[in-house]
Structures are given as C-alpha cells and as structure tokens.
Amino acid sequence: MRKLISSFIRYIETEKGYSIHTIRNYESDLRQFTKFVASKRGLKKGAPGIDLVDYMLIRSYLGVLFDRCRRTTIARKLSALKSFFRYLELRGLAPLNPVTEIATPRQERHIPTYLPVDDMFALLEQPDRQKEWGLRDLAILELLYSTGLRVSELVALDIEKLDLNSRLVRASGKGGKERLLPVGRKAIAAIREYLENTEKRRKKAGYSKCQGPVFLNYRGGRLSARSVNRLVKAYSRKCGIMTEISPHSLRHTFATHLLDGGADLRSIQELLGHVNLSTTQKYTHVSIDRLVEVYDKAHPRS
C-alpha cells in the first residue's frame, strides 16, 4: 500500500495539480488508514497489501473516525480514500473498489464568523500609521477586507501580481488557479504607502522595485500565514472585539458585506474563487439572519 500511496501522491501533485495543503492532508490520511489496516489484519511488520481492504474494513474505519473526528474531517478522509481507490481502479492496480457504495456523511451547517461593518472599520483603525510595520499591517487588513483573499493567497502575493493603477490583483488560488480581482481605493492607497516606505528594506533584501513578495517579515523575507493570523488576532483584541476572528473571518466579512450590499451570489462566487456555488451559498444564511433581525426590530407585529 505504501508504494501505491506514493504513486497516487505523485499523480495528484503532477497531473491533477492539487494544492499543497490537499496533497499533505491526503497523504497523512492515507498513511493513517494504512496503519489501521495493518492493526485490524494483525500485521506487526511491513505494510499491508491492497487486497486486504474490503467494504467492511472501510465501514469499520469510519466507525472509529466517528468516535474521534468532526464530520468535516471524516468527509476529507473519505474523499482521500475515494480518490485513491478511483486512481487504482483506473490503472488496474486494485481488484475492486471498496469505497464505491459508501456515502459521504452529511455535514453540519456552520454560519461563518464575520464582523459587522462598525467592528470592521474599528479594526482597520488599529495599525500605527507612523511605523513601517503599522503600514504593512494596515495594507494587509485593507487587502483582506477589500478582496476576500485567502491568507495563503495573500502571503504568496508578489509585487508583479499587483496593478496599482488599474486597481487589480492576480491571485493564485487552490490548485494553482488564478483569478483577477478588483481592489478598493483605500486598500490601494495603503499598499502604495507601504511599498514606498519599504523600498530600502527591499533593496537590502535583494529585491528589485517591481519584484519580490509584497508583504515582508522583520528579516526581509516573505511574511508567513501564521504571522498574519497573529496580527489579526492582536488587533481584534486591541479594539475590543469579543468574537474570536482570524484572517479567514475577514474573507467571510468581505462576502457577507457584499451580499448585504446587493451583490449577486454568482459574482461573489467568482471573487472568492469557489468552484461550486453551494460553497458560496453559506453566506445567504448570514444575510437571512440579518433580515430576520431587521424585520423583528422594524415590524409592528413581529
């Protein structure tokens, strides 16, 4: 099984173009499944063969997962198994596909965490504009709220992907798919000021004026997603926001505020880079909750 898993991982990396996060998760999930098969079949040494896996073993594995994991995690692990066995089936490497008849568990519906407009504006007021890192942090917050970028897309952003004059940014999303996004004037102004104030630092780090990462850390390297997460949490605490938020919360805030402002769901889908509209539809729940709240406050008979 280990050799087959390695072959599958190379396939989804080189031929399917899966994101690095999906590849890492799938590999971990399949290694975990291999250990489960070995323990269930009483193997103490060596990796189990693929012929030891059948429908009942998969069901037993899912039973263990239901006691330990959330449904979203179980769905991902099952997706890894389905993709793996589909790959083996297409290449004639497995005698049967034991996952075909197994349905993905129904997912819990989570309403995304987002900030009201006033709280979002208060968050944007927190960075110190008199300091270089304050300018950087302001540019980060403005760009996240202005475009709905994923934090992975934000930290991977290079200067050449920015068109400040046309107010556009080219983002590389999941699976390497690119999309062109409009950027608000406030965000453009914040980015422009930050870039102007870091010219010397960029030159010292070996970057030209038009190349290199947009957002730098203290050593002149590319800023990490973990650092962005820390700064978002720090500024939210500073302005007294009680809700636990993350960079992804600003993506939710971007989508929710657009929907409340009258944007259609298809346009929001394109801006967020969602493949399926069903992924975007979770934001309608947020807006419906807001409509009910407004109705309850305004209608005499509510």
Cβ atoms within 10 Å, residue 268: 21
Q: Which residue has the tokens 């947009």?
A: 214
Q: Is 252 a catalytic residue?
A: no
Query: Looking at 202, 252, 257, 274, which residue is catalytic?
Result: 274
Q: Is 204 a catalytic residue?
A: no
The residues, ordered by sequence, that sit 6+ positions from 264 with a Cβ below 8 Å of its Cβ are: none
Q: Is 3 a catalytic residue?
A: no
Query: Looking at 202, 251, 252, 257, which residue is catalytic?
Result: 251
Query: Looking at 248, 282, 285, 290, which residue is catalytic?
Result: 248
Query: Looking at 136, 150, 252, 257, which residue is catalytic?
Result: 150
The residues, ordered by sequence, that sit 6+ positions from 130 with a Cβ below 8 Å of its Cβ are: none
Q: Is 174 a catalytic residue?
A: yes
Measure Cα distances from 97 to 52, 58, 82, 133, 228 in Å: 12, 11, 9, 54, 42
Strands (E), 77-213: 162-163, 168-172, 178-182
- CA–CA separation, 51 and 74 (whole Å): 23
Q: Is 257 a catalytic residue?
A: no
Query: Looking at 174, 192, 233, 290, which residue is catalytic?
Result: 174
Q: Is 77 a catalytic residue?
A: no
Catalytic residues: 150, 174, 248, 251, 274, 283
